[in-house]
Amino acid sequence: MAGSDAAAPSLDVRGLHKAYGDLDVLKGIDIAVKHSEMVFVLGPSGSGKSTMLRCCNRLEEPDSGAIRVGGDPVTGAGVNLNAIRQRIGMVFQAFNLYPHLTALANVTLALRKVRGMSRRDAEARGMEALAQVGLAEKAASHPAELSGGQQQRVAIARALALEPEVMLFDEPTSALDPELVGDVLEVMRDMKKAGMTMLVVSHEMKFARDAADRVIFMDKGVIVEQGPPEDVFGAPRHDRTRAFLSRVSGQ
Ligand code: ADP
Ligand code: MG
């Protein structure tokens, strides 16, 4: 299911506003992610990063602004949210796997229930997705038998199985023991090599430096600055960015 407009950004967020009551969380966010681009979003806790990601597939309803995937509207009346959400994969900090289902059954659930694929076709696609994250041999394991890093890789496979055009990651390694972080980042690096378009909220600065095409620094609901990682990390232009980077690099 390719986007209808090959020249359009894979993900296009324009003028995104979101408030919770009196709290203005997003004050006009513009982000365009090109095909195969990996864009990192950094910012202090509470700056609106998760809200921004959740608005992209309308897990949160934007107050105003326009969002498009592959040129097609995500916002506005009459959008088929079910169809749109299959085009935008999402990976959260908490893996949210079903404990009573095997890894393969977790990965094939949406293929069968949402896509209506036969068990045989869903399992073939599910095995491909598990192989992509290096876990084909764990297909029959239940989440409790897997490490946190392996569970997160199953969650990534679950999203990949739907063959999304864009993947959103919300702090995918924050819940992991440090020694398990590397495997998840390696999978993300492989996905980028394979051409996936990715918008990633994460504090993995070293990975951002190595792998991101662009880094966005967000604070208090606005984009403060953005650029190639070597610029944002090496020569941040704003005090707020400098203060944030010196805080996190001290950790
Ligand atoms: P970040 O991911 O950058 O830490 P969030 O997007 O989670 O930031 O939150 C931004 C702000 O919005 C925070 O002040 C948070 O408390 C508030 N917020 C987030 N979700 C809700 C909600 N459902 N209702 C009310 N306030 C919320
Ligand atoms: Mg968050």
Q: Which of 51, 60, 169, 203 to mutate to test the pocket of ligand 1 (most atoms within 8 A of CB)?
A: 51
Atom 16 (ligand 1): residue with closest C-alpha?
A: 46
Average of per-residue pLDDT across 111-128 = 96
Which ligand 1 atom minimizes the distance to the CA of 43? 3
What's the confidence (pLDDT) of residue 120? 97
pLDDT tens digit string along 4-54?
Answer: 566 789 999 999 999 999 999 999 999 999 999 999 999 999 999 999 999
E runs forming strands in the chain: 11-20, 23-33, 38-42, 64-69, 72-73, 88-91, 166-170, 197-201, 214-219, 222-227
> In angstroms, what is the span from residue 217 Cα to ligand 1's centroid?
17
Inform me whether the pLDDT recorded for 3 exceeds 50: no
Which ligand 1 atom minimizes the distance to the CA of 60? 23
pLDDT band at 249 (very low <50, low <70, confident <90, very high): confident
The answer to whether residues 224 and 241 touch, using CB atoms and an 8 Å cutoff, is yes
Inform me whether the pLDDT recorded for 240 exceeds 60: yes
What's the confidence (pLDDT) of residue 165? 96
